[in-house]
Amino acid sequence: MNPFIYLAQHELWARLLIYSGIIELYKHDFNLFFNRENKLKTKTLVLILPLVFMLGCSMKAQETNNDTESKVKNLLSEMTLEEKIGQMTQVDFSVIAAPEQLHTDNPIDQARLENAVLTHHVGSILNVPYNKAQSIDTWRKMTQTVQTVAAKSRLKIPVIYGIDAIHGANYTQKAVLFPQAINMAATFNPELSFKEGEITAREIRASGLQWNFSPVMDIGRQPLWPRLWETYGEDVHLASVLGTSFIKGHQGDDFSAPNKAPTCLKHYVGYSFPINGKDRTPAWIGERMLREYFLPTFEAGVKAGSPTIMVNSSEVDGIPGHANYHYLTTVLRGEMGFKGFTVSDWEDIKRLYTRDKLAASEKEAVKMAVLAGIDMSMVPNDFSFYELLLELVKAGEVPIARIDEAVSRILTVKYQAGLFNTKAPALPVEGNFATPEAIETNRQAARESIVLAKNANKILPLKKESSILVTGPTANLLSVLNGGWTITWQGDEESLYPQDKLTIFEAIQLKSTGKVTYVGGNSFADQVDILKAVQEAKNYDTIVLCLGEKPYTETAGNIDSLNLDQAQINLANAMISTGKPVILVGRPRIITAIAEQVPGVILGFLPGMEGGEAIADILYGDYNPDGKLPISYPGNTNDSVMYDYKPIESYDLNAYKPLYPFGHGLSYTTFQTSGLKVDKNKINVDENITITVTVKNTGSLKGKETVLLYLNDVAASVSRPNKQLKAFKKIELNPGQSENLSFTLTPYDLSFIGIDLKRIVEPGDFKVMVGNETVNFSVMKKKF
């Protein structure tokens, strides 16, 4: 029987293959899968047709890429030098803004917008008007106004509008605002990160925006850094998994879709590890450490398809990120194969001259940055980059080939994002913005992000009829649950927060059937009346004590000390002295002395707009906590050791002794892992190895447990960490239920950066650790 006659008799498969466009191309290969009597083997058909379909899809993608490349090449050939350099220029909204007191529903000054787009050919605009969230209607009118003016330009090249939507569409009023990245990491749930990406993309597109400066792929290993909470924590594998899940949800298979948008990896590379902890200050990172800890997350983001990268605002080993040819070109382009475009961070090209003293003039700074590999400049407040780069090219100091390269990358992303399809209707607000389903997803993310760190004598969950005194500076504010980049840059304008969302106190009050009273102020800075709180405590069963930090980000949030301020310490000591049970609800500062004296500790971090209700759900047992720490919670200000410490860090008098270790998190039920096994005791250097383990709910409540798999390379030519997270799975189990889990480790998982700065797998012994069990296997030098 001829295979094509068979396909004709099976219309679904036939249409599939015809759509894939490869029946003719692969006719010979199809016949190979038939026996000599031309009888089709059913099993072979089942195996080959999905493969053929994937080949067809790959061909379609290649056709699309070729088509885009052709369009970019043709457009570039028509562009003047001025138009090209304009595409490389990004300005802040303030450059096109009308005075705040004059605008009604559209804050754009038409003349200033036309000057930017038509005279200076600006390719990108960023940021929110007047540093506060706008209504979705205002955003839609604004972005439509921008594109209408762009359509008047000679070549009608659209403007790409960028925004920091780092935990939802945080500059659009009433958007679904998720837990911050540190909390999303605590969920250990890639599916929730994927859904966050989906919802965020949908809501920024409904707002008329096209480009998201997210996710932060910096690794969070410096607790003094004021942006640590924007990261996915201290572990490379966890950050890579959660970050790439967000990207895939945000972009889908095609980020030109009306409900998808391109992402931007931040802040390449080494930004998060300043030696003094202050934002935008030097990092000293050796090449091996950089490749082991800081590059892999960005490489994962590139592989996940993120088409843009924002550059480190600081310097590494004396070289500012915006002048680092080795990082921007040799590594990012040459080694990692990044094809998209790079964008500077805020004013950082100018700062090569004004701050870093690397350049002797602003013009030299522009030359340095462009030749190092910066494609787009976040100028952001004027057209100086445009003017200076124009002079440099005309003088022959920057080759036109470099300009064409950068502009080609920018135009490619604009085509890929569907921006040239001006007839496509805007994504409707109805059904795509702040939907009940999205809000419920957000609440679930908040629940899973909260860590129950201590529960002595099963003080939690609380009985709903118990009386509760709620106090502390973070008890009755929404801003402290959300942090920076929320409604405003610093996130601290409490009056702008939605009135329908609940603080911790309000959520407890709503859920409780007993008496609930709050003693505290109306802002973070207000002093709590300690005497009043002590007096009130006599009349209540339990005290919920809410301590922590005010909202902040970037340099404005630099941390002078990880200690709580003295007023909070005094309040805590007074509450403990009442003799009533105290439940500490906190976000990171040093809490060791307090935590040791109270029976319950909940680490809330920044759980987002649904965080108040999520914390109340956990306090009362309406949700069984399952968050795990994505960082090592320090026990003291000068004791910052990561979980994947080197042997020398836990030798002699040195020790890893955090208040709570990485991966710590309690539940109202109990779990046990057992039966850890490897499928082989010996493998070759190029082989995978499969690990199995059983996890069981040994308690009396349904709950979720995250099983963490660690690996240790016992002896190597470069000192190896005591353990590194290589895989994890989160699973929900009923009481008494057990499930067998399987993990596969690849040679990459066994590798490290060797003496020659190349990634290698060395023969030798390895340990796999899950729970309290350890199993060994060996990697052989030669095939056996």
Half-sphere exposure of 677 (CA within 13 A, CB side): 9
Q: How far apart are CA 264 and CA 781, in angstroms?
A: 41
Answer yes or no: are the C-beta atoms of 416 and 560 closer than 8 Å.
no
DSSP character for 322? G
Answer yes or no: are the C-beta atoms of 517 and 470 closer than 8 Å.
yes
Q: How far apart are CA 445 and CA 447, in angstroms?
A: 5
Q: Two tokens at 538? A: 């006599």
Q: Two tokens at 166? A: 């780092």
Q: Which residues make Cβ contacts (< 8 Å) with residue 392, sequence separation at least 6?
A: 363, 366, 367, 370, 398
DSSP state string for 410-431: HHHHHHHTTTT-TTSPPPPSTT
Catalytic choice (164, 218, 235, 345) = 345
Which helix H or strand E contains 265, and what residues bound it? strand 264-268
704 strand-pairing partners: 732
Q: Which residues make Cβ contacts (< 8 Å) with residue 540, sequence separation at least 6?
A: 467, 468, 469, 515, 517, 580
Answer yes or no: are the C-beta atoms of 174 and 437 closer than 8 Å.
no
Residue whose pair of structure tokens reads 């400066």 in the numeric block: 213
Torsions phi, psi for 99 (to 5 deg): -55, 135
Q: How far apart are CA 242 and CA 193, in angstroms?
A: 6
Q: How far apart are CA 58 and CA 62, in angstroms?
A: 6
The alpha helices in 578-652, defined as continuous H runs, are 592-595, 611-619
The alpha helices in 162-309, defined as continuous H runs, are 181-187, 190-206, 236-251, 287-289, 295-303
Residue 247 Cα distances to 179, 181, 512, 651, 741, angstroms: 16, 13, 39, 40, 26
Q: Judging by beta carbons within 10 Å of its beta carbon (0-12, 13-18, 19+), is residue 700 exposed, middle or buried?
A: exposed
Q: Judging by beta carbons within 10 Å of its beta carbon (0-12, 13-18, 19+), is residue 274 exposed, middle or buried?
A: buried
Residues 679-695 as b or e (16 or more Cβ within 10 Å = b)? eeeebebebebebebbb
Torsions phi, psi for 309 (to 5 deg): -140, 130
345 is a catalytic site residue:
yes
Q: Which residues make Cβ contacts (< 8 Å) with residue 76, sequence separation at least 6?
A: 84, 404, 407, 408, 411
DSSP character for 359? S
- In terms of phi and psi (left: phi > 0; alpha: psi -120 to 50; beta: otherwise), the region of 634 is beta
Pairing relationship of beta strands 308-311 and 341-343 according to DSSP bridges: parallel
| Residues classed as catalytic | 345
